[in-house]
Every structure is written in C-alpha cells, then in structure tokens.
Chains A and B, each alone.
Chain A
Amino acid sequence: MSHDNSSPSSLQHHFHDVKQQYETAKLGMWAFILTEVLTFGGLFVAYIVYRSWYPEMFINANLLLDVNKGLLNTVVLITSSLTMALAIWAIQKKNKNLSLVMLILTFILAFMFLGIKYLEYSHKFEVGQLPGEYYSYMGPEIAHINNPHIFFSIYFMMTGLHGLHVAIGMGLIGWLIYATAKGNLHSKYYTPMEMIGIFWHLVDLIWIYLFPLFYLIG
C-alpha cells in the first residue's frame, strides 16, 4: 500500500505514523469480520441441525422459494462487490469522480437487492409462508410434509440478518459517498473505504452461501 507518511491531517494523535494507523485499522476490521462469521455461524449450525433432522421437508419447502429472484439478487450483489472494488481502485489512481460513480452504483445495487428481497418477502407474507406459529400455507408442494415452518424460520432469520447487514452497508456506503465528495478521502488516505469494502465483500460472501443453501437444494 502506498501511504504518505507525512500526511498528518488524517493521523490520529496516538499513532506514530500512517502505516501503523492503517495496519491497526486493518487488523481491527479483520477481527470484526471474524465476529460476523461467528454470528452467522450460529445460524448456519441451526440450519445444519434442522436440515439433518428434516431433509425431505427442506427439499420440499425450498420449492416454494423463487429461484429467479434469488439468482437475480446474486448477480446484483456480486456486481456491487465489483463496483465497490473498482471504487477503491479508482481512488488509489486519484480518480475521484470515477470512485464516486462506482460508490453510487454500489449504493444503487444494494438498494436493488433490498427491493427484490422486499418483493420476495411480501409474496411470502401474502400466502402465509411465515416463520414458526404464523405459518399458514398449505399448498400441494408441501402436502404430507411436517414442519415446513421451521424452514421458513431459518430462512427468515438468515436472510433477515443478512438483509440488515445490507441496509447497514448502504448507510456506510452513503457516508463514503459524502466523505469522498467532500474530499476527506483521497489517494493518500482512503482507509475507511477499504475497510467498508472488506465489510461489503463479507456481506456478498454470506449471500453466496445463503443462495445455494436455500434456493438450490431441490
């Protein structure tokens, strides 16, 4: 990483130099990513336990999900990861405008993801494919199958927590847009953009696991 060691405005008083500050931020971010993985890890364990208990129910309940929307969301989110990476690349290359465009694109893609998720959720609310005791859907796909509500409990828990992360990510990217436009982030100091980028890739990565585990097991 090319960092200017003499740029004092972004250097907090308790660090020696920019390099130390940057490495500390990066270590802290990766430690945070570890905690995120473990948070989702609890839910992945729940998924594994119940899928091994009710393998047939999972396969049948999975038919109720909309694969096309899920696939579209996968494409949207992977693309947003690319635009996020390009935004960092652009600011390294001192191209502030390109970086801004890429950040705005990332923001829009994140919004699209949540929009598509909203369509999926609202359909499930209508037909009663809801978690736990609120589940009421009794269509032909799941005749003779017990406990389909468990599938939807785990589905809503995991995609809901993931969606929350997307929403938080949107807030962070929004702040990046503001900070870049104001000139607070530039080729000499873009640590926050890189850190939020790591977070955003994690959000993408978790979806890449969620998509096949829920939509493609049929």
Chain B
Amino acid sequence: MIENQKNYLTYPKGIMSWLLTLDHKRIGLMYLFGGLAFFFLGGLLALGMRLELAAPGNDFMSNDTYNNVYTLHGAIMIFLFIIPAIPGALGNILLPLMLGAKDVAFPRLNLASFYLYTLGALFTLYTIVSGGVDTGWTFYTPYSTTSTSNVIPMTMGIFIIGFSSILTGLNFIATIHKMRIPGLTWYKLPLFVWALYGTSLVQITATPVIAITMVLLILERLLGIGIFDPALGGDPVLYQHFFWFYSHPAVYIMILPAFGIISEIIPVHSRKKIWGYKFIAFSTLSIAFIGFLVWGHHMFTSGQSVFSQIVFSFITYFVGIPTGVKIFSWILTMYRGQVSFTPPMLYALSFLFLFTIGGLTGIFLGAVALDIHLHDTYFVVAHFHYVMQGGTIVAFLGGLHHWWPKSMGTMYNQTVANICCLGVFLGFNGTFFPQFLLGLRGMPRRYATYDPQYADLHSYSSFWSAILGLSIFIAIMNLLWSLRKNNKLDPGTNPWGAMTLEWTHTTSPPHPHNFEEEPVLEHGPYDYDKVIVEPTFKK
C-alpha cells in the first residue's frame, strides 16, 4: 500500500528514541525481548537439570551446583519471565490499542517500571556470576538466613522487580478505568482487558507484601533482627505465611493474563461469539479474590492446626469453580464454530488440554490427606509445570503468534509454527506426565540423584525435555526469522479476521500514536453473529 507509512517501529528513529520512549508499544517490545532472553536462560538451566537427572547418580553436577541451578531456574522463570512477560509485553502493547486510547494512563511511570525490571534483572545476573544462590525460589527461613550463598542480591532483585510489577498494575488499572473511548463500556471490553484488570488488582494488593517480606529477610541476614529466627524468639513459619500470602496470588498474576489470551484466540479462530462473556469476566475477578484466601494450602506440612488445614483446603476447592466456568465457556465457544487450525488456535487447544490437567491435579493437592503424601514430591513439580508452562507459557506462545502480525507487521511460516506447537505439546507431556508418576511413587523434588527404581521415568522425562526445548526454540526463531528484509505485510492486514479495535481501526504495525484519529466503536469485540470481518492477508 503506502510505502513510507509511519509506524511505531520505524518512527522516530535512533537508539535513544527507544531507550527513552514513552510509547507503550515500544516499552512492551522491550519487555518482550527482555523476557524472552530470560526465558532462554531459565530454559537452559531447566535442560541442565534434566540432563543431570537423565541417569541416577551425580553425572556432571555436584549437589551444590544442582541446588543453584534449580533455584535460579525457578526465580528467573517466575520473577523475570512469567510475571513480567504477559502483562509487561503483550499487556503493554495491546491494552491501549484495545481501549482505543493513545497510550497508557502514565507513560513515564511505564518506562520507569521497565527500568526497574532491568535493574532487578541486573541484580539477578550479578547473583549468577558471583556464585549463585541455593535456597530454592521460595527462600524459606531459617535456611535462607544462614545459607552462605548470595541470598541478598537475589532477594534485592525480586524486591525491585516487585515495584516494577506494582507500577505496571497501577498503571493498567488507571488506564482501564479512565482511558476507554466513549461508548466502550465495561461489558464491551475484550476479555483480555478484564484479565489484565484482575491481574493488576492482584499485583497491587499482593506484591507490596512480598516486598516487605524480602526487606525483612534481608534485614534478618544483615542485622539479625530475629523476626524469623527461633533462636531469637522469632518464627520461621511466619515467613512462609508472608511468602505465600503473596506467592499464591502471584500464581493468578501468572495465569489470569493467559486466560485472557485464550478468551481472545478462541472466538477469533472459531469465528463465533464468545460463550458466557459475563461469566468469564466475573470468574476472573472471583479467582483474583479467592486467590487471597488459600495461601495456607502450601503449608499443610508446616505445623498448622488441623482446623486451618480444613479451612484452607475447603476454600482451595472454590478456585475450581470459576476456573471450570472458564474452561466450559471456551469449549462451548468452539462448539459449532468454524474452527481453523492456525498456530494460535493450536496453542489455545494445547492450553485447554494441559491446563485442565494442571488445574485438576491442583484439586488433588488441595486435599489435605493426599497432600501430606505428595508434598515436596515430583507430583507437585508436575502439577505446577502443567499450570505455569502448559498453561501460561503455552498461552503466551499462542498470544505471541496471534498478535505477531499486528505488532511486527510480518507473518511467520505457519507450517513451521504448527509443527513446533505439536512439538511443544508432545514434548511437554512427555517431560512432565512421567513426573506425576514419579511423585506418586515417592520421588522427592530438589535432588540431584535418585534411586535406580526411578531411572526409567526420569530418563524418559529427560528425553522429551530436549524435544520440548528444541520446539520452543525453533518456534521463537521462526517468529524472529519473519523479521527479515522484504517480508512486510500490507499495513491493512487482519490475517485472522479479528474484530477488536487493535485489528479493525489501526495498521499493522500500528501508527506511533496508535490511531490516525480516535476510533468510533461500531460493534462488540466478539460480534461474529452480527458483523462479518473477513480475514485479509497480503504482502
């Protein structure tokens, strides 16, 4: 079409215009590439662990090295990739576009939040080069206050990233409340926006608690304040309460945006109106709320009273209700729709399968009697990987494939993308399903070695982890390869025929100020029963 059309990727030019940008789309891209770099690092650590576990015995890592590797894998994946990646990258790029706004409410704060993330990342890198940390990503006291490894830089990094997360959440809440175009009422918002709203609420209410907990932990190490030290009259279990009061809601910081992505992908690629819009919207908020009341289920073996165990177990089951509502709504959306097996849709279907397993095994672990048996075994490891990787990361990859043509203006090779998605699905199940069996048979987590009776399942898991790692790597490379020269799409392209504002009212990639003129809302986000938006795809 128009050769020199302005878009946010090419205008303005120069490295400083990126580093000092206030444009939410550019900040989102910087988050994306930062997050992907840490995804790569965390993935290498994971493959290192699987390599060590391919056979019993210390094959090429000492126990101490292994402790460092799993700690860094967990901390990097959670605090530097999953928590910032979806809200920071996809959320930043898409939220104002979906609202018809020119930018987020506080653009400078947005940039500050990115630089806080960068600073936290530097602390993490310092932790790695200065010898690592071996406490596990949960930093349980009293070990974390006595370990000689670098607990302080790592927790300091998490403290700083926490503020980045708080500022993003705060910014998104103000944006969603105040920056919508006229006529875009709450029930006309895309469900991804509802998901970001729920996420942001949890971010601003839970993250301050982890921040102060990390400060207490640092002061405990530096000054021996004794709050978590039984020798000084303190209580190490209080640390666990503080930690999980944040870190359980943090699970929903990680999974709610994924739900939002799935709620966008499924109606678009099924060409059908979403089933149960309000149910999905309000289940997001109720998950965010219930998520604050269940932290004790991480501590069934920490000496809680039986009464608290029963209460926490009971409330934990409630999380299953809104989650089930979502799953059934998505399935009913596909029912009698025109489902096309595009890469985003394949990821969404993988998500449905994998997340359902992850969610249901969470119900197993919420039962006190069963949890006492399965606590700290590979069953737990498999469960949260089914939720975090099978759920969040698969949804993230789906979202990346869905909005890649929108944010980059290029189309990747869809056949390669589909094959990679299949590789991710098979590799993931091959890696983690055996871990459920290992856990049931009593294999504890966080050990570099194991008894020979576990060898078959472990080596099977390790074999498939290579397929999984390779598939994700090729999938990302496939995306990046589309950025080569002379591969631009027509700016008017809408390859999936989506009808949210970011597709219908601006170019791909979008204009530097998002829209040439303020969009006028013509239909709801999923009105496939009323309006026909044809997919357009040309170079």
Contacts and interface: CB of A to CB of B under 8 A. Distances in A.
Contact of B208 (A12, A14, A38, A46): A38
B170 A32 contact: yes
Interface string B215-249: 01001100111110100111100100010000000
Number of contact residues on A: which range applies?
Answer: 35 or more
A175 B503 CA distance: 43
B216 A132 contact: no
A54 B233 contact: yes
Contacts of A35: 166, 170, 204-205, 207-208
Interface string B131-155: 0000000000000000000000000
A149 B179 CA distance: 50
Q: Which of A23, A28, A157 lies at the interface centre, i.e. has the most chain B CB atoms within 10 A of its CB?
A: A28
A36 interface: yes
Interface in A11-59: 12-14, 20, 23-24, 27-28, 31-32, 34-36, 38-43, 45-46, 49-50, 53-54
Nearest to A156: B225
A132 B220 CA distance: 8
A43 B211 CA distance: 11
A133 interface: yes
A9 interface: no
A54 B232 CA distance: 13
Contact of B238 (A23, A38, A49): A49
Given A35-B170, A133-B232, A27 B177 contact: yes
Interface in A124-151: 131-134, 146-147, 149-150
Q: Which of B102, B166, B212 lies at the interface centre, i.e. has the most chain A CB atoms within 10 A of its CB?
A: B212
Contacts of B371: none
Contacts of B171: 28
A133 B209 CA distance: 25
Contacts of B216: 42, 46, 157
A132 B232 contact: yes
Contacts of A42: 208-209, 212-213, 216, 242
B205 A34 contact: yes
A133 B107 contact: no
Nearest to A16: B518
A31 B224 contact: no
Contacts of B109: 28
A43 B232 CA distance: 18
Contacts of B101: 14
Interface string B101-117: 11101110100000000
Nearest to A40: B212
A101 interface: no
Contact of B178 (A27, A36, A40, A156): A27
A49 B233 CA distance: 12
Interface in B321-368: none
Nearest to B182: A16
A14 B212 contact: no
B498 to A, nearest CB: 24
B209 A38 contact: yes
Given A24-B174, A28-B171, A157-B219, A49 B211 contact: no
B170 A14 contact: no
Interface in A42-85: 42-43, 45-46, 49-50, 53-54
A101 to B, nearest CB: 30
A136 B242 CA distance: 29
Interface string B168-184: 00110110011100000
A153 interface: yes
A154 B232 CA distance: 13
Contact of B226 (A28, A38, A39, A133): A133
Contact of A34 (B174, B204, B209): B204
A39 B233 contact: no
Contacts of B173: 27-28, 31
Contact of B105 (A24, A50, A150): A24
Contacts of A12: 107
Q: Which of A13, A45, A132, A157 lies at the interface centre, i.e. has the most chain B CB atoms within 10 A of its CB?
A: A132
Contacts of A50: 227
A32 B103 CA distance: 20
A128 to B, nearest CB: 14
Nearest to B242: A42
A153 B207 contact: no
Given A132-B226, A132-B232, A157-B219, A28 B170 contact: yes
B119 to A, nearest CB: 18
Contact of B179 (A24, A53, A54, A132): A24
A36 B207 CA distance: 11
A161 B219 CA distance: 12
Contacts of B102: 13-14
A165 to B, nearest CB: 13
B174 A133 contact: no
A154 B216 CA distance: 10
A100 to B, nearest CB: 26
Interface string B22-33: 000000000000
A31 B213 contact: no
Contacts of B107: 12, 14
Contacts of A14: 101-103, 107, 179
B334 to A, nearest CB: 37
Contacts of A46: 216, 227, 238
Contacts of B234: 150
A12 B233 CA distance: 54
Interface of A: 12-14, 20, 23-24, 27-28, 31-32, 34-36, 38-43, 45-46, 49-50, 53-54, 131-134, 146-147, 149-150, 153-154, 156-157, 161
4 nearest CB pairs, A to B: A133-B224, A147-B233, A42-B212, A14-B102
28 contacts: A12-B107, A14-B179, A20-B178, A20-B179, A23-B178, A24-B106, A24-B179, A27-B178, A28-B173, A31-B173, A35-B208, A38-B205, A38-B208, A39-B211, A42-B213, A132-B223, A132-B226, A132-B232, A133-B226, A147-B232, A147-B233, A149-B232, A149-B233, A150-B227, A153-B226, A156-B225, A157-B216, A157-B227
Given A35-B166, A46-B216, 20 more contacts: A13-B513, A14-B101, A14-B102, A14-B103, A24-B179, A27-B177, A28-B171, A34-B204, A35-B170, A35-B204, A36-B208, A131-B223, A132-B220, A132-B229, A133-B223, A134-B223, A149-B232, A153-B226, A154-B227, A157-B216
